[in-house]
Amino acid sequence: MHVAALQMVSTPRVADNLAQALVLIAEAAQAGAELVALPEYFCLMGQRDADKLAIAEPLADAAAPDAATAPLQAALAQAARQHRVWLVAGTLPLLSPEPGHVFNTTLVYDPEGQRVARYDKIHLFCFDDGERRYNEAATLTPGQAPTAFWLTDRAGERWRVGLGVCYDLRFPELFRRLGQPDALDLIVLPAAFTDTTGRAHWELLLRARAVENLCHVLAPAQGGLHENGRRTFGHSLAIGPWGEVLAVQPEGPGVVMARLDRQRTQDVRRQLPALTHRVMQG
């Protein structure tokens, strides 16, 4: 299955970001991608963390999102339908019952434009090195439920796909949970890793998750200097089940294409059946 991780350097302007996302989706589809994934916060990297509250949408109807009340969801569903791709739509803010907070949500659309999965980011990033400070819990409500879904590719093969977002990458137990009872074939992890933490840990952690779960990983990222002064690490990656890097883009907007091979996964799991050797299942 051909897949694409879309890398962006999103701005404080939703319309500009959406326009670029749609261009990149079209480019990936034209190149043959069956699954396309946007980065975290693809729609907005605001001047302030609270800016996302102003654009939060209610969860729209799965089959027919209303463009008046949920314009981002309507545009994403239309893009999936128009290009006949599975679309993992990065993250966008959805309304939360908690005042002054939103969910940081990944939505997944099938090639008919139907929403087939929702994942609210569970682990909220907090970092303070004396110069840079981030605390997502100030504006985000954490999700509660791990989420995976099944897709059928154009060759008729079924893939079990687990979802994570950015900071979730540091919690391997999430992906172990997603791999039960059915082992994952692919992890898709939209992100906006900071430059500081990305240089230290991004590729290391992604390759570790691939090796631990003997599955492919697709990680679309924000990558560059944003207008709000924040620098994200980029290096959107596709990784094979042995931890090998299949494709990468260090910085700037673009499409990272890769071909994922189910036979490769089966061969690796046969040669090293580590998933069947687990003793501690909790």
Q: Which residues of 156-180 are buried (b: 16+ CB within 10 A; e: fewer)?
A: eeebbbbbbbbbbbeeeebbbebbe
d(C-alpha 153, C-alpha 172), whole Å: 27
- How does residue 240 score in pLDDT terms, banded at 50, 70 and 90? very high
What proportion of the chain, given as a percentage, has pLDDT over 90? Answer: 95
Out of 136, 166, 215, 251, the active site residue is 166
pLDDT for 281: 75
Q: What is the mean pLDDT of residues 29-56?
A: 97
User: What tens digit of pLDDT does each residue of 83-113 get?
Assistant: 999 999 999 999 999 999 999 999 999 999 9
The token pair at 42 is 């693809």
CA angle 133, 136, 139 (to 5 degrees): 120
Note if 40 is an active site residue.
yes
What burial letters (b/e) apply to 140-150, b meaning 16+ CB within 10 Å? bbbbeebbbbe
Write the pLDDT tens digit of every residue in 176-233.
999 999 999 999 999 999 999 999 999 999 999 999 999 999 999 999 999 999 999 9
* Rounded Cα distance, 260 and 229, in Å: 35
Residue 148: pLDDT band (50, 70, 90) is very high
Q: What is the pLDDT of residue 280?
A: 81
Q: What is the mean pLDDT of residues 140-154?
A: 97
Spot the catalytic one: 121, 136, 203, 251.
Answer: 121
Q: Taking the CA of residue 117 as centre, how many other CA atoms within 13 Å lie in the half-sphere pointing to its CB?
A: 24
Active site residue 57: no
Cα separations (Å) of 132 from 127, 197, 230? Answer: 7, 11, 9
What mean pLDDT do residues 40-55 have?
A: 96
Domain segments of the chain as ranges: 2-276
Q: Record the pTM.
A: 0.96
Our answer to whether residue 98 is catalytic in this structure is no
pLDDT class of 10 with cuts at 50, 70, 90:
very high
Hey, is 197 helix, strand or coil?
helix
Q: pLDDT (tens digit, 9 = 90+) per residue, 253-275?
A: 999 999 999 999 999 999 999 99
What dotted CATH number matches 2-276? 3.60.110.10
Quick check: 194 and 274 in contact, CB under 8 A?
A: no
Side-chain half-sphere exposure of 242, counting CA atoms within 13 A? 13
pLDDT band at 39 (very low <50, low <70, confident <90, very high): very high
Q: Exposed e or buried b for every residue in 218-248, given b needs 16+ CB within 10 A? A: bbbbbbbebeeebbbbbbbbbbbbebebbbb
Q: Would you state the pLDDT for residue 131?
A: 72
The mean pLDDT value for 66-80 works out to: 98
Annotated active-site residue in 40, 136, 203, 251 = 40
Instruction: Say yes or no to pLDDT of 282 above 70.
Output: no
pLDDT range class, residue 134, cuts 50, 70, 90: confident
Quick one: which H or E segment has residue 89?
none
Q: What is the DSSP letter of 84?
A: T
Residue 21's Cβ-side half-sphere holds a number of Cα atoms within 13 Å equal to: 34
pLDDT at position 127 over 90: no
